C-alpha cells in the first residue's frame, strides 16, 4: 500500500510514472537542495493531488514497471558489480530497499528519485527512427514480434478495439502480415478518424512483453506507439472479428 501526504493512496507504479512525467515536462530532475518548494518530489505530489490533471500516459506507466522491476532485481542485474563501484551505489541500494517494502511518507521521495536514478544509469537517448528509412520486418508465423525494449517499425492490421479502462486507455489488438498477435493500450482519440477496423498501417513501437496464451498463441505487448502517417491500407475485418460496442463503433467503417 502506498501512502501519500493526502488522504489518497498511490501504488509504486503510479508514483514512479508520475515522476517520469514530471521529470520529462521539467526537462530534468529538480533536487530538494536546489529548491524547497519546486523540487521534483513536491511537483509529483502536486500533480497527484490535482483532480484536473489528465490520466498518466500509458507509456509512463509501462516504463514505471520497468524501473520498479530493475530495482527489485538489482542484485541479480548483470551490471550489479559495476553498480556497486559507482559513487552513488548507496542510492541504488536505497531504491532497492524501498521497492522491497511498503511505500510510506518517508519512502515516497525515494520512489520519486528512483525514476531519476534509473535515467542516470541509462543516459542514452532513445533511438529516433526515420519512417522514410526503416522498414517493417516480416516475422514468421507463430513468433513473437520484435525484440523486447527495442523500438522497431511494424506493419499491422487493426482487428479489435476494446472498452476504455479506468485510466481511459483503450486496448487495441493488431495482427502482422504473418498473423502474429499484438496488443497495445493508448487513448482512442489518437487514432479516431485515422484508422478503422480492418485497416493496415505502419507504426514504430517498443515490445515490452512476450506471453504465451493457454491455446499456444504467442502475444506481444507494445508501448510508445508512434503511428506513421500515409501508410494506411484500407481493409476490412472478417465476419468473426469483433469490437466492443462502447468504443469499437468509432473505428467501424459504418461510422464513416
Give the DSSP per-residue string, 1-17.
--B-SSSSB--HHHHHH
| Residues 159 and 241: beta-carbon distance below 8 Å | yes
**Cβ atoms 179, 241 nearer than 8 A:** no
- In angstroms, the CA 117 to CA 102 distance is 20
Sign of CA dihedral 27, 207, 110, 43: positive
Cα separation of the two ends of the chain: 46
- Name the grid cell of 198: 480492418
pTM to 2 decimal places: 0.49
* Residue 38 lies inside a defined structural domain of this protein: yes
- Whether residue 3 is contained in a domain is answered as no
User: Are 162 and 116 in a shared domain?
Assistant: no
- pLDDT digits over 221-244, tens only? 999 898 887 788 877 665 444 545
Query: Does residue 103 sit in the same domain as residue 202?
Result: no
Q: What digits encode the pLDDT tens for the residues 161-191?
A: 887 665 667 889 999 988 899 999 888 888 8
- Among 99, 121, 143, residue at a domain's last position: 121
Residue 231 falls inside a structural domain: yes
- The domain in which residue 72 lies consists of 12-121
Q: Is 27 helix (H, G, I), strand (E, B) or coil?
A: coil
Amino acid at each position: 500500500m502506498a501512502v501519500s501526504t493526502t488522504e489518497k493512496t498511490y501504488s509504486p507504479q503510479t508514483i514512479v510514472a508520475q515522476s517520469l512525467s514530471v521529470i520529462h515536462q521539467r526537462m530534468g530532475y529538480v533536487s530538494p537542495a536546489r529548491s524547497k518548494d519546486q523540487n521534483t518530489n513536491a511537483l509529483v505530489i502536486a500533480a497527484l493531488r490535482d483532480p484536473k490533471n489528465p490520466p498518466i500516459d500509458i507509456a509512463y506507466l509501462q516504463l514505471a514497471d520497468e524501473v520498479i522491476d530493475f530495482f527489485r532485481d538489482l542484485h541479480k542485474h548483470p551490471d550489479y558489480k559495476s553498480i556497486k563501484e559507482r559513487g552513488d551505489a548507496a542510492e541504488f541500494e536505497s531504491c532497492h530497499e524501498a521497492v522491497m517494502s511498503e511505500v510510506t511518507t518517508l519512502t515516497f521521495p525515494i520512489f520519486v528519485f528512483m525514476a531519476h536514478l534509473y535515467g542516470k544509469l541509462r543516459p542514452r537517448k532513445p533511438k529516433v527512427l526515420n519512417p522514410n528509412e526503416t522498414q517493417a520486418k516480416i516475422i514468421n508465423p507463430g513468433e513473437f514480434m520484435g525484440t523486447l525494449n527495442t523500438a522497431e517499425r511494424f506493419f499491422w492490421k487493426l482487428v479489435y478495439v476494446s472498452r476504455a479502462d479506468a485510466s481511459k486507455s483503450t486496448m487495441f489488438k493488431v495482427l502482422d502480415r504473418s498473423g502474429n498477435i499484438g496488443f497495445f493500450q493508448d487513448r482512442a482519440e489518437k487514432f479516431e478518424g485515422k484508422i478503422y477496423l480492418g485497416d493496415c498501417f505502419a507504426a514504430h513501437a517498443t515490445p515490452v512483453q512476450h506471453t504465451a496464451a493457454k491455446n499456444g498463441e504467442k502475444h506481444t505487448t507494445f508501448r510508445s506507439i508512434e503511428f506513421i502517417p500515409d501508410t494506411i491500407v484500407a481493409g476490412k475485418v472478417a465476419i468473426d472479428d469483433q469490437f466492443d460496442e462502447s468504443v469499437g463503433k468509432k473505428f467501424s467503417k459504418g461510422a464513416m
